[in-house]
Amino acid sequence: MNPHGVRHAQPTHVDHDGPRDAPPLLLIHGSGASGASWEPVVPALAARHHVIRVDLPGCGQSPPAASYDVRAQADRVATLLDELALSAVTVVGHSSGGYVATALAERRPDLVGSLALVGTGPRLDALSPQPAVLRALLAPPFGPLLWRRRSDTMIRKAIGATFAAPATIPPGMVADLRNTTYRAFRTVLRENTAYLAERSVPERLAVLGRPLLVVFGAADPRWDPASARLYDAVPDARIEMLPGVGHMPMLEAPEPTGRLLLDFAAPRAGTATAGPA
C-alpha cells in the first residue's frame, strides 16, 4: 500500500501525493483499473498539486459496493471531497472515469472547478469493437472462469491491447486489477453504457459551464479518435490529440500528458479551495 494511502468513510481507498496545502487535483481511473494507473504522471503533478487518487468501489483496494451506477460513484467521490473540505477542484477522469467526473460536476457543481477527460468516449456509437483478449475475459460462459484464473501475463496483455505501441505497465496496476471481480467489472461496464445511452458526454458538459480539456490518443483502439471532435460542442473546450498514442495516454505518453494536465490546471489553481494540511 502507498504509505500515504488512507481509507475514508465510504469506504474508499485514497492515495495522496504532493503537499496537502497545494491546489488539489483529483484523478479518477477507468473501468476495472485503480489509482495505480496514474502512477507515471503523478510525480510531475505532485510537484505542484495535492494529487488525490481514488480507487472506485470494487476496484484496486476499495471493497465492492451495492451499486455501480455512475451517479452513485460520483456521490461517493463527492463524500470524499466533502470529508477533505475541498471545493472547486480540478477533476481528471480517464476513460469511464470521465463519466464519474462528469456526473460529479452535474450533481455537485460546487466541487468541480474544471474538468479534464483523458480517453473518455463521448457517446456509444464511437465505441470500437473489444480487443479479442478482452472479449475472451468478459464473454460468458467461459469469461468468469478465465477471469478467476488470470495470470499477470494475461492481465498485462489485456491492458496492452488498448495501447498503440508497447508501454510500461506499473506493477501496482496489475496487482490492483487482480482485486477487481468479474461481477464488478461487468456491472461497471453496463452502468457506463446506461449513462451514455441517456445523453452523450458533450451534451452533458455543454450546459455545465466548466473549463474542459480533452486528451485523446490519435490511435485509440477503444474509441474512434475522430469522435474527440464531438467535444467541440462544449463552449471553449480544449481538445488535444496525441499522435501514436492509444487509449492510455498516462501510460503511453506520460510526459506530454502530464504537461497538458499541468498547463490546464495552472490558470485555475488559485480558484480551488484546499482543506486543512
Supply the pLDDT for residue 10. Answer: 52
Q: Any bridge partners for residue 28, and if so which?
A: 54, 93
pLDDT band at 133 (very low <50, low <70, confident <90, very high): confident
Alpha-carbon distance 22 to 269, whole Å? 9
Instruction: Examine residue 141 and say whether the peptide bond preceding it is cis (omega within 30 degrees of 0).
Output: yes
pLDDT tens per residue, range 194-232: 999 999 999 999 999 999 999 999 999 999 999 999 999
The predicted pLDDT at position 68 comes to 95
pLDDT tens, position by position, 148-194? 888 999 899 999 999 999 999 999 999 999 989 888 999 999 999 99
Burial string for 82-116 (b: 16+ CB within 10 Å, else e) reads eebebbbbbbbbbbbbbbbbbbbbbebeebbbbbb
Q: How confident is the model at residue 138 (pLDDT cuts 50, 70, 90)?
A: confident
57-61, 140-144, 198-202: the lowest-pLDDT one: 140-144
Higher pLDDT, 1 or 215: 215
Q: Is the pLDDT of residue 3 over 60?
A: no
Print the SS3 string covering 40-61.
HHHHHHHCCCEEEEEECCCCCC
The mean predicted confidence, pLDDT, of the chain is 91
β-pair type (238-242, 112-118): unpaired
Q: What's the Cα-to-Cα distance from 253 to each of 148, 166, 192, 217, 259, rounded to whole Å?
A: 31, 11, 26, 9, 10
- On whether the CB atoms of residues 159 and 169 are closer than 8 A, the answer is yes
Contact 95, 122 (CB under 8 A): no
pLDDT (tens digit, 9 = 90+) per residue, 246-277? 999 999 999 999 999 999 998 644 444 444 33
For 43, phi and psi rounded to 5 degrees? -55, -45
The C-alpha angle 83, 187, 86, rounded to 5 degrees, equals 15
What is the pLDDT confidence band of residue 147, given thresholds at 50, 70 and 90?
Answer: confident
* Strand pairing category for 6-8 and 12-17: antiparallel
Note the pLDDT tens digit of each residue in 102-111.
999 999 999 9
Residue of 236 and 10 predicted with greater confidence: 236
For the residues 31-46, what does the mean pLDDT come to?
Answer: 97
Q: What percent of the chain has pLDDT over 90?
A: 80
Better-scored residue on pLDDT, 248 or 4? 248
- Provide the pairing of β-strand 238-242 with 212-217: parallel
What is the C-alpha separation between 199 and 216, in angstroms, rounded?
Answer: 20
